[in-house]
Amino acid sequence: NRSLKIEGAAKQLDDVDTIRHTDSVRIKKILPTLENFKSVMIELQKKCQHIGAVHETFQLMVEDYPELGDCC
């Protein structure tokens, strides 16, 4: 009986997407940068910046934070 329960649970695991170790390391590396980016973008929005200006600012930030270039 117990083995049937474990087998059923194991079959459900096949449907779970796991994060590869390299992706996990990359995510941990980029999180501090994203927090800084988020705070900057929130401040821009509070100042009613036009989306075009925000996009231009984002492009400049990608130059300063190259690790954002691959994900965005």
Distances (CA, A) of 52 to 7, 9, 27, 32, 34: 53, 49, 27, 25, 20
CA 45 vs. chain centroid, Å, equals: 20
The whole-number pLDDT of residue 58 equals 79
**What is the reported pTM?**
0.34
For the chain, what is the domain count? 1
**Domain residue limits at 59:** 2-68
What string of DSSP letters covers 29-66? HHHHHHHHHHHHHHHHHHTT--HHHHHHHHHHHHHH-G
The whole-number pLDDT of residue 53 equals 80
pLDDT by residue for the chain (72 residues), tens digit each?
566 677 777 666 656 667 788 888 887 887 887 777 777 777 777 877 776 787 887 788 888 877 776 655
